Structures are given as C-alpha cells and as structure tokens.
Structure 1
Amino acid sequence: MPLGVVVRKVPGVTRWAKWNWTAVAVLPGAGPADWQELRREGEAVEYHAATLPLTLWAVETEAYMVNLADQVPSIYVVMRKGPDDSRPLDVVLATASPYESQDYCDNGDDIVEKVPMPQGLVAWVRDFAVRNHEQEEFIKRRRDRIRVDLVEDGRGDARIRQQSDVFRAPKRVMT
C-alpha cells in the first residue's frame, strides 16, 4: 500500500539545531510526492515528504501483532540527513514492524519516528496479521545425557609432571 509521510519542520530550541524535523502523520493510499508543502502556521511547516510502499511480510506477523497490541499502534518512519537544503531529510522506510525499526535505531545515523496508525490502516494490518499468523509451538530444549566430565584430556599444564596439583603454575627455572 502506498503510504505518504508527513514531516513537520519547527524552529529548534538550541543554538546547535536551527530546525527540528519530526514525522507526524502518514497518509494511506497517497499519491507520489516530493516535499510538497501541506500547511504553514507561523514558522511551523508540514510537508508531504515522500510516498513509500508499506509492505507486509507473512514472516513478520509476530511483530505486527506486538505493534497492534500496543496502546497506540504505530507506523515507524526511518529518515536520514539529506544531501542539501532542498531535501533536508531522505525518508528511507515506513514499516509496521517494531523489530525492523529497532535495527535502524542501532546505527545512530538514522532518525526513527513512531507515528500513530490511522484506524483504517490498523484494520488492514490486523487483517493481514490474523490471516497469515502461525503460532509456533514452544519446544523446551533438553540436556544431553552424555557425561562429558569423565575424561580429563588437556586438563592442567602439560609442563608439570607431578600428579599433586595440575592447576599449579610451573616454577621459573634459573640458569
């Protein structure tokens, strides 16, 4: 499903950041866009920054279920610093999987924003997840019955010939 990403630009509160950019909304079924201005209120400006495909995968249904069980189901928008001022950010990804978005949080270069899902999109993701989810049965691993502690090959220091203390360090030989 094509998903438009709305990004808001507001003045920064520190001298190090002139502007603060945040993803604030998504537009399901949006047409193509490239930083089209949607609304301006004083110095705050909202842009339809990009339209990306929201792809759902059958193997990710557990992640979608976790997202839908959250108090506010969300779309995670991943953005990177753009090459110039005309495109300050590149919108890289929009996903419904919190697990996938977590991977982008690890590198420190990407901005990951959590945007609330519209109700129609929540229903679409829920239908897909319920239709494709397969519960995996938990299988507890059992310990092998093989006794590995009976053989003491390679135990201790081979340079010590005495049987009394195999863990003792060798004495320094003075010549």
Structure 2
Amino acid sequence: MNDAAARARMASMPIGVVLRRTPGTTRWAKWAWGAVAVTPGGGPGHWTELRREGDAVEFHAATVPLELHRSETEGYLVALNGAPPSVYVIMRRAGGPDDRPEIVAVTASAYEAQDHTDNGEDIVERVRMPEGLEAWIGDFCTRHHVDEAFVKRKRRPHLDAQTEDGKGDARIRQAADVFRSPGSIRGGRS
C-alpha cells in the first residue's frame, strides 16, 4: 500500500491538551487534575502555564496526534452526536513530586475511550469539541462511514440432537437409570 492510499484511509491532526490543576480535597491527594480544553492544531507544549487564578492553574500539558481511521467511524459518530460533542483525553498517573498525569492520547471514538476506562489504569476525561474539530471529524465521517445492516444470528440445530434422545449422561452405559452420576457407578453404590 502506498502513502496516498494510507492517507486516504486515515487523517491526523495535532491536538493540544489543556489541564487544570486545583488543590486536592483530601489529605491523600495534594492536587486534582482535569482536562478542560483541547486546541486543534496545537503547537508543542510541555507543561506551559497558560492561566492562574488563585490556586487553580491551567497548563498546556502536551500536544498529541488525533488519528481518525475509516474503520472506526461509528465510534466517532457516537461522540459527535453526544450532548455536547466531545473528544476524550486519556491520561495515566505518572507519580513524581507534583503528581502530573501523563497524556497518553486523545481520541474522538467513544468506543476507544470506553476501552481505556475498562483497563483500570487510565483516566479518561471527556472534553467539549471545538467547532472546527467537530466539522473536521464530521467531514471525515461523511466521506468514509458505511452503515452496516444488523443481521440477527440464527440458531443451528446441533447434529448430536438428531441421533440422541437428549437424556442423561453419555458416559453411563445403563439404560435403566440415565440420571445416575458416573461416580456412583465406579464406587459400586446403587
């Protein structure tokens, strides 16, 4: 597959992630971190302080690529049709003296975000999509989404059901008591 074909199947854009640090509410957590915004086409950012209001500080924590793949458009449409349309910032606790989280990824797929919440290690924050990002993802979905009809699975009759009467345990050779357990045969009890 050449580069042009690969680019037609996916799209990528750098996304800046803005995190807000506020004082923790318990004695075990000095700081509470939360994703508050994303900036499409964001430049490089490595914990650049953007704004300070008392003890609350907002940082441009990182810029990571947001990748769209044509096989995942259903998950993007779920995120676009949410109220409000959102992207998901995936973080991990990195430890350290200030307990800054590590930005793992940004995704527009509600299904991928759900997968990250299931692993128990990642923190997933839902962030409102800026209008330009919403239009870009919507355009990608318009070009690549194909509705798949739901097909109900049908039961197949088992081949064994045609030859046996379905009663008892196949390991018991006696036809008189088909419900007796195999252990009672070996022990000699009746």
Partner letter of residue 125 of structure 2?
E
More helix by share: 2
Which residue in 2 is equivalent to 1:113? 125
Report how many residues are paired.
173
34 and 152 in structure 1: CA distance in 2 versus 1, 3 angstrom threshold = same
Root-mean-square deviation (CA, aligned residues, Å) is: 2.2
1:37 maps onto 2:25 in alignment: no
Q: Distance in 2 between matches of 1:51 and 1:121?
A: 15
Which of 152, 169, 178 pairs up with 1:156? 169
CA drift at 1:56: 0.5
Whole-Å separation in 1 of the counterparts to 2:73 and 2:162: 46
Unaligned runs of 5+ residues in structure 1 are: none
Measure, in 2, the Cα distance between the counterparts of 1:147 and 1:110.
Answer: 46
Q: 1:64 to 1:84 in 2, by over 3 A?
A: same
Report the CA distance shift for 1:146/1:12 in structure 2 as closer, same or farther (over 3 A). Answer: closer
Deviation at 1:141, TM superposition (A): 2.7
1:6, CA displacement in angstroms? Answer: 0.1
Quick check: 1:173 aligned with 2:175? no
Conserved? CA contact 1:157–1:167, under 8 Å: no
Q: Which amino acid aligns with 2:58?
A: E
- 2:152 paired residue number: 140
Counterpart amino acid of 1:13? T
Listed as ranges, the gaps of 5+ residues in structure 2 are 1-12
Inter-partner Cα distance in structure 1 for 2:96 and 2:34: 17
Distance 1:76 1:131 in 2: 22
Letter in 1 for 2:40: P
Task: Note if contact 1:12-1:19 (Cα within 8 Å) is conserved in structure 2.
Answer: yes
